[in-house]
Amino acid sequence: MAKYLVQNNGPLRGEVVISGAKNAVLPLLAATILADEPCEILDVPPLRDVDVMCRLLRSVGFDVVEDYRVGRVIVSPQKIINDEVPRELVKQMRASILAMGPLLARSGRAAMASPGGCTIGARPIDLHLKGFRAMGAVTTESADPDAPTVAEAKQLMGGRVYLDFPSVGATENIMMAATLAQGSTSIENAAQEPEIVDLANFLNKMGAKIKGAGTDSIRVEGVPSLHGATHTVIPDRIETGTFMVAAAITRGDLTIHNALPNHVKAITAKLLDCGVSVEETDDGFRVRGDLQPLNPTDIKTMPYPGFPTDMQPQFMAFLTTVEGSSSVVEKVFENRYMHIRELQLMGARIATEGNNAEIQGGYGLKGARVKATDLRAGAALVLAGLVAEGVTEVSNVHYVERGYADFTGKLKRLGARIEKVED
């Protein structure tokens, strides 16, 4: 197993280019199942999860050509579609569930085991199935966690779906399935994330008729078929936020390219509250944490456009370095505080009660042996290691590499002292 060795190196300085969004490219790749012609996806990041999704597409009968040198994936449909996704692929990645809606719409049946991924809390697929049933599908679930859940419908019919929670995955899955349903489908209390807008834009390029993506009410008029299209993935807003926090936590000066300011407003607002300078540029930001003493702040994670849960661990690591009392309230996932114990091993003063965390910052961090408990927790521990005294050993780095392209390389080019070694 590999680990990162991270050392304190002072402020990060320089320029970094943000990769295509992990949380956008995975549903885009799943959506190619709906097309009856080849699709080309550009600015695809070279991530483990992308590789798993490409293998999944091959397993259900598609020809996939990956060229990560230029960030391109071409997916071509074949005559035969396998409607049951291999369990070993499903267990590797939560986003594998996104193939269920397209498979159901295209072939009339989809069978999948419960998906795997980061253990950050319960993420059931009941809202996905609720949407499929609203469009006329019959679903069958088993008490055996290893047995597949099956959804079947000779022809999906338009329906009205109200989501009890604005789930991103359920919104995407239902929206994709509805593109080939007969009639009109409405999705109420829909998630509003930029990745959903990106997916809708791609589907509309393919001939779908989707309106309202990016609001809490989406309407889809079904069409008989979808054709091929070429689409460029949006920049990764969580990678953007991570490097913004990297500038803040190291009291550095970073210019961040290929970033969309509208996608990170909540992160920007909290950094400004702390006294971090965030200046928009032609294609991103210049972020400086070296201009003045920084202030504590309070954050509460919420569905978009609120503060993203995927930035909570990184921001918490930053707040441990800011003198004074800060608080964090996690409102999205009930099990997303596992990184706190690891930060405490580094000397962080954090007390928790339920989903509330109180941070007494400014006492200094020390290097320790810590482990990434999920993707974003791993990134947070790396950021903490950049300002900790001594050496920080971060294990379970496979989590980090699921969501950040060339993370260590980008950090090293900014002056970070970080190495990946085999344990």
Beta strand 138-140 pairing with 109-112: unpaired
Residue 120 to residue 368: CA distance in whole angstroms: 23
Which of 39, 54, 118, 274 is catalytic? The answer is 118
Residue 185 to residue 213: CA distance in whole angstroms: 13
Residue 337 to residue 353: CA distance in whole angstroms: 11
Beta strand 417-422 pairing with 2-7: antiparallel
C-beta neighbour count of 15 within 10 angstroms: 13
Q: Is 54 a catalytic residue?
A: no
Residue 23 to residue 233: CA distance in whole angstroms: 10
Q: Answer yes or no: are the C-beta atoms of 140 and 118 closer than 8 Å.
A: no
- Within 8 A by CB and 6+ apart from 157, the residues are 135, 136, 181, 182, 183
Q: Answer yes or no: are the C-beta atoms of 296 and 278 closer than 8 Å.
A: no
Active-site amino acid positions: 118
